Homo-oligomer: A and B are copies of this chain.
Amino acid sequence: MFDFTVKAKNNRARTGVFATPHGDLLTPVFAPVGTQATVKTLTPAQVEDVGASLVLANTYHLYLRPGDELVRDLGGLHRFMQWPRPMLTDSGGFQVFSLAQTRKIDDDGVTFKSHIDGSTHRFTPEKSIAIQENLGADIIMAFDECSDPNDHKYSRIAMDRTHRWAERSLKAQTRRDQALFGIIQGGVQADLRTASAKFISSLDTPGIAIGGLSVGETKDEMHAMLDVTIPHLPENKPRYLMGVGTPEDLINGVARGIDIFDCVLPTRLARHHSAFAPEGRLNLMNAAFTRDERPIDETCDCYTCKTFTRAYLRHLIVAKELLAGTLISIHNLRALIRLMEQIRVYIADGSFESRVPELLSQWHGNAERNKMVNG
């Protein structure tokens, strides 16, 4: 269980297979986000149809609602939401730290107020693991502290705490059918990232996550942090770059050796009428699309592109019909998943590295950072 086999490499980019209780993941892989045990506006059948193999759910949200014990009693997340393939849960750390005004961090854990009803709760590494064991995803995360990348002093404190919490998370784990990943922190400081990469790599975990990026730093800073981190990571463990997922981020991340990505971007953009297209990101509410009989992307094989015109999608948006969000979500997810399928082929045939400039220029108009937290 949780063997990771690298099948091919192109410089630092790799394609491989990660074995989980709910099937093999072909990497590199992009995971749609199902924050509250649903990829927003899509049925699990539609999520399967876009080719998703891994879905992420959020520990913080599911702990509050419907409650992790309820999910456990109803057979775990896979059964509850009827997602038959691999799942991943985060630790809840990032979400509670995002509640800037209403949380208090100490060396033992974090006390915070629910965004739903203001009630007080406490997460510790032990509690986070207990919740994630109740939820029952295939891949779970050590409890970590994400720091403000511009506060260097705090980044060291947060990193040290993250390391101690990773050890406690590992000790707290009781289920052996879940892959617990440690998380590398360290803000945008090369020395901290290096230290954290070495420490997290020294732990006996089946995979390694990189946290605290795509949280306010520049693209160049993110790339620099990946460049100093990844050389210290073992080859035989999958590497998960948390919460990152513009098309350009995926291409740049894979080129630097990342295997797993997740992001709310494709579904969130869709609900705001924005679609990934060859000519750049389209705001489909624009009047320019009123009579546009083309699909979003003529080269795309998704249900939306095979079926509907931009004119119809614009009509749904203008008429405030919820189907618009569903149809654009299908396309945006398929666009990123198809990009990853192409990238896997290119790594396998050895052409990926030489194709990076072409891929980046192809996706150029779709760049934009996503700082939003919840799917």
Residues of A at the B interface (CB closer than 8 Å) are 36-38, 40-45, 61, 65-66, 70, 73-74, 80-82, 290-291, 293, 303, 307-309, 311-312, 314-316, 318-319, 321-323, 325-327
Q: Are B303 and A45 in contact (CB under 8 A)?
A: yes
Q: Indicate how many identical chains form the complex.
A: 2
With contacts A74-B291, A82-B307, A82-B308 taken as known, whether A321 is within 8 angstroms of B66 at the C-beta atoms is no
Please, could you name 24 A-B residue pairs with CB atoms under 8 Å apart, sorted by A? A36-B315, A36-B319, A37-B312, A38-B319, A38-B321, A41-B323, A41-B326, A43-B303, A43-B327, A44-B307, A61-B319, A65-B319, A66-B311, A66-B314, A70-B290, A73-B291, A74-B291, A74-B311, A74-B312, A80-B315, A82-B308, A322-B322, A322-B325, A326-B326
Contacts of A80 in B (CB 8 A): 309, 311-312, 315
Is B38 a contact partner of A316 (Cβ separation < 8 A)? Answer: yes
Is there contact, CB below 8 Å, between B74 and A323?
no
- Give the chain B neighbours of A319 by CB distance below 8 A: 36, 38, 61, 65-66
Residue of B nearest to A37 (CB): B315
Q: Report the separation of the CA atoms of residues A70 and B315 in the bound assembly, to the nearest whole angstrom.
A: 10
**CB-defined contacts of A41 to chain B, threshold 8 Å:** 322-323, 326
Known: A37-B315, A38-B316, A38-B323. 19 other contacts (CB 8 A): A36-B319, A41-B322, A43-B323, A43-B326, A45-B303, A61-B319, A65-B315, A65-B319, A66-B290, A66-B314, A66-B319, A70-B311, A74-B291, A80-B309, A80-B312, A80-B315, A81-B312, A82-B312, A322-B322
Looking at the assembled complex, report how far the CB atom of A191 sits from the nearest CB atom of chain B, in whole angstroms.
Answer: 42
Give, as a whole number of angstroms, the nearest-CB distance from A273 to chain B. Answer: 15
With A and B bound together, what is the CA distance between A173 and B311 in angstroms?
28
Q: Which residue of B lies closest to A330 (CB)?
A: B43
Residues of B within 8 A of A73 (CB): 291
Q: Report Cα–Cα, A290/B71, bound state, in Å.
A: 11
Tell me the smallest distance from the CB of A73 to a CB of chain B, in Å. 7
